Amino acid sequence: MRRLVIAPHMDDESLGCGGLLAKHPEDATVLVVTQSGDTRRQEHAKAMEVLGISDFRCLDFDDGTTQQHMTDLVQQLDRVMSDVQPEEIYLPFPSLHQDHIGVYEAGMRSSRLSMSPNHWVPNSVLVYDIAVYDVNLYPSDLRWNVFEALSEEHADLKAAACAAYLSENPGGAHPMNSIKEIAATVGHMRKVEFAEQYALVRQVRR
């Protein structure tokens, strides 16, 4: 099964889907929408190496500008969709960050049904959880209804991938320093050792 993880920034993919990516590296493509300089790019390459992801790409929009370039972004996502042809796509939770909102909206538009014979439509659209410190922002109709069970190895790889982003880690009490603990908490609520949670937005069963 081909999976496409679309991330607003280099680190969101590891925070939200690092366990899933570690579990299915050969079937996954990571697409980052914005660029944040050479340091973050190097950290991203290291994180992808940790997770075993060989197909990772960047659209190089400027950080904070996705909503200003919505038409161009949707068109570029359309092209990536047609190239990768994923059965599942993973979009960021549309938190208060403007790029998270922009990428979520662009991803939903790109996965739309279309009369064009060349437009790729994924079977499933899921939202991943990166707003771990913004629990109050979750809309009442959002349900974390898909749980990806992880082994301890997958949880460790996710934590190691997040640790690669040294420039994004302020130290101390912070989600980037609690990756394995968060995975354990989500997993224990579902009676598995470790897990990630997702919200299924749309699914076509074939």
Domain at 63, CATH number: 3.40.50.10320
Rounded Cα distance, 126 and 16, in Å: 11
Rounded Cα distance, 75 and 97, in Å: 22
Rounded Cα distance, 11 and 18, in Å: 9
E strands present in 63-206: 88-92, 124-128, 146-150, 194-203
Tokens of 87: 């059965």
First to last CA, the chain: 13
Number of folded domains in the chain? 1
| Domain span holding position 159 | 3-203
Query: How far, in Å, are 146, 181, 187 from residue 190 at the CA level?
Result: 10, 14, 5
pTM: 0.94
Q: For every one of its 206 residues, what pLDDT tens digit does the chain have, with 9 covering 90 and above? A: 999 999 999 999 999 999 999 999 999 999 999 998 999 999 999 999 999 999 999 999 999 899 999 999 999 999 999 999 999 999 999 887 889 999 999 999 999 888 788 899 999 999 999 865 555 566 667 789 999 999 999 999 999 999 999 998 877 777 788 999 999 999 999 999 999 999 999 998 87
